[in-house]
A and B are shown apart, each in its own frame.
Chain A
Amino acid sequence: MAELKYYIIRRLATFIPTILGILLLVFIISHAIPANPARLWAGGEKAKPEVVEAIKKKYHLDKPYHIQFMLYLNDLIHGDWGQSPMTKRPVLEDLADYFPATFELALVSGILIMLIGIPLGLVSAFKRNTWIDHVVRILALVGVSMPVFWLAIILQWIFYYELDVFPATGRGISPSHVYTGLYLLDSILSLDWKAFIVNLQHIILPALTLAFAGIGVIARITRNSVLEVLSSDYIDFAEAKGLVGLQFYRHVVKNASIPVITVLGLQFGMLMAGAVITETIFAWPGIGSYTVNAISSLDYPAIMGSTLLIGLVFITVNLLVDIFYAIVDPRIRF
């Protein structure tokens, strides 16, 4: 396990160049847009020239790009993520408000993917080439190919307009105490069951929308990796040894889990990034809709900040997946 500790430290060190790369890319893409952000921030066409000048100075827009980037990095190292010219608040505070909503949505979607996708894949694998298998495979295909915006609207139409069982938009109500910003968790912690029910009702449709494609992907990956393990020699040998029940299936599950966890990790990153459309349709007050607003108003600090945060989550999840590998698979040593 000492090896594992050094591995984690080394992997954490590789975060730095990755983050720098992300920042540089986003900086170039956002600043490459031929626009006049200072005037936009100052209020548009009717903005007074002196206000525009003041803004340019404040945000260093009068300096060359590479200097701007260096200044941004310098602030970042000192813990200052900049101030949003649109909300007039520090970006970090904005993110602290919006990020938990997205994280909660991604978390619930991730749980749905696991709870629905993995069992579907298992059923499909163990009942191979039966009608159940065919149904699951078609569902998986549909799940992967269905456009998110279309699915979101269909779900709203069925469950809100027609059946009226779930609300169409919003995040619900704030629980009586906010500890983590994750409403569901906070409602449990503060024993506020009314808030828990309301928030659960609100999160179901967007979480399902977000999870749909992932469920299909995970079901397929689970099916394929279980089938591959079942056809391996060591499973033949395990049968020849007379292994039964848990003693038999632990060989199947452990070996099949490796590709499934890999894809789950990637999926979680996609959930964070892919929340933009879902959040917009369901008016979910998360980082996705915040970022969309930031982009449309050329809010550089907000764009940089939210990308940085999503990037950090993405690489952290990847690190967790790699640590999982190291624990499960003894062949992986670093």
Chain B
Amino acid sequence: MRKPFFLGASLIITIFVYLWQQNMSMRLAYKASALQSDYDKFNSENDILRLKINSNLALEKMDKIAKEKNLLRPDEKHIIYVD
């Protein structure tokens, strides 16, 4: 009586493990896809922000702002190099 019971139980467990890992792999694939999309999104946002920094620090733009604010190039003696 015990033998068929264990046989049935192990069969059910095997099927359960198989189905669970199938389901899990599918769920992980969805998660990986979502993470990949997030990664691509952050990468692309990072690119945009880097471009913005470089555009804002463009020398042509800074020179234009300096002219608008009537700023003059400092005398060499008054420049302190910090690096």
Are A and B physically bound partners?
Answer: no
